[in-house]
Amino acid sequence: MYDAYCADCHGVNGKVAMSTATALNLKTPDLTQLSAQNGGSFPKDRIRSLLMDLDLYPAHRVTNMPHWAPALQSLNKDHPELVGLRVQNLMAYLETLQAPPAIAGTDRRNTANPK
């Protein structure tokens, strides 16, 4: 799903597909930094909201991201419950792309003795 719906803009590794972003003049977020930008926690509720178009005021949505809920819902019209499963699977994949948290002031060569 990521390759089909996200990689064109966000890149195959989540770090922005420069050709698409540049061609469309978009400010596309680096998906590997979602946790870092959210105090170290993956923002599941915000991602779910974006993917399922659950923003309270969709007309005021400040994003260039397409509305994916209609596309996801059209995949299994006879089984609407699968939309939630698709979103959950996509969120789980995005969580695996997260960059490790930076450890400020730590010398990784000698972490046992910080002197």
Q: What is the dihedral of CA 85, 13, 9, 20, to 10 degrees?
A: -160
Give per-residue pLDDT as tens, 62-92: 567 777 778 887 887 888 788 889 899 999 9
Helix (H, G, I), strand (E, B) or coil at 32: helix
Residues 6+ apart with CB under 8 A from 61: 55
Q: Is the pTM of this model over 0.85?
A: no
Please give the share of the chain, as a percent, with pLDDT higher than 70: 72
Provide the residue ranges of all domains of the chain, joining segments of one domain with +.
Answer: 2-96
